[in-house]
Amino acid sequence: MARPPTPRAGSPHMDIELMKQLEFTDDGSARRLRGVSGRLVAAIVTDIASPFYSEVNRVTEDRLAEDHCMMLMCGIGLQADQEARMLTWLQEQGVRGIVISPVRDDLTRLQEISGRGTPVVLLDRLPGRADLCAVSVDHRAGGILAGEHLLRLGHRRIAFLGPSPVTVTAVKERRQGLREAMRDAGLDPDRDLVDIRVPAPNLVEAADAAVNMIVTMKDPVTAIACMNDMTALGVLQGLGRHGVHVPEEISVIGYDDVTFASRLAPALSTIRQPTHALGRTAAELLLEEAEPGHQHRTARFQPQLIVRASTAKAG
């Protein structure tokens, strides 16, 4: 029997050739059961087809690969129960870590998972009272940026397109920033900011449909602030269908600055999030968290206003 190249402790001489002949496959479950930690890192995301999160996660994935972790992305379709089910399942699998942008406000479940030794990093969301690692963008500042830009252009009545119930903290903050900017300009957000609900999933279709309400409003808005670029895409589509010209008749601003934002018709004004920094930092916090005397940290980045062609002076 030939000697194996690297006879691991305890293993009897194993004939590599023979193993191949028998189509032998190592059993990961047995190894994990024995106490060896797994290499699966899960990135939980509301929508697997969200271009923004995908871009962030690609960066995270690359960084994690350097440390021999496999990052898989899982979608949960904005459903809290689905999120819970996914977490339970991942916990049972003994994952190496979790990157998540939670749909629920309540973080106790994640707090518990983290406390039990599984690294958890919040993405695009602050931990609040919870003791967790987080990577986020100052969304209130982002909302203010969008608001000030619109206000500077003379808009006085603005629509905000967000998800059905605004449970997602990041969106809540963007909306609050927007309201704050309006208040600072002497407007009353309760009257001059009109909330339009865009039910998930399939944001672009929902936003497209929401335009029907916007164009038939008795007291019309002159600008639309969208929770993200996908929503803005839907709005552009809907407006196009109704023959409304952007930005001449109405201004549209997005959020994220995804790859295609600059090439839309018209080129989308938006609030850029630092994709690369978010993704890389998320990976690094996750890795750090596995180390001995770890303290939870929050990394916070600033958004940036990108002015393109979809916003203009209020007619």
Partner DNA sequence: TTGAAAGCGCTAACAT
Partner DNA sequence: ATGTTAGCGCTTTCAA
Q: Which residues lie near its own copies (CB under 8 A)?
A: 23, 25-33, 39-40, 42, 47-49, 51, 54-55, 57-58, 61-62, 70-75, 77, 86, 89, 91-94, 112, 116, 204, 230, 233, 236-237, 240, 259-260, 262-267
Q: What residues contact residue 181 under an 8 Å CB cut-off, 6+ apart?
A: 143, 144, 146, 147, 148, 151
Query: Between 13 and 129, whose beta carbon lies closer to DNA?
Result: 13
Residue 247: what residue type?
Answer: P
Cis peptide before 163 (omega within 30 of 0): no
| Residue 260 contacts which entry, its own copies, DNA, none (Cβ below 5-8 A, type-dependent) | its own copies
- The helix/strand/coil state of 19 is helix
Whole-angstrom distance, CA of residue 173 vs CA of residue 290: 30
Contact code string over 236-275 relative to DNA, x by CB under 7 A: ----------------------------------------
| Residue 36 contacts which entry, DNA, its own copies, none (Cβ below 5-8 A, type-dependent) | DNA
- Would you count residue 7 as binding DNA (CB under 7 A)? yes
Q: Count residues contacting DNA (CB under 7 A)?
A: 16
Quote the tokens at residue 178: 């927007």
Residue 231: what residue type?
Answer: T
Contacts by 82-88 with C-beta closer than 8 Å and gap 24+?
A: 83/44, 84/109, 86/42, 86/44, 87/44, 87/113
CB of 34 to DNA, least distance (A): 4
Query: Between 61 and 148, whose beta carbon lies closer to its own copies?
Result: 61
Specify the stretch interacting with DNA by CB under 7 A; choose among 29-37, 41-49, 199-207, 246-254: 29-37
Residue carrying structure tokens 């003791």: 131
The binding site for DNA (CB under 7 A) comprises 7-13, 25-27, 30-31, 33-36
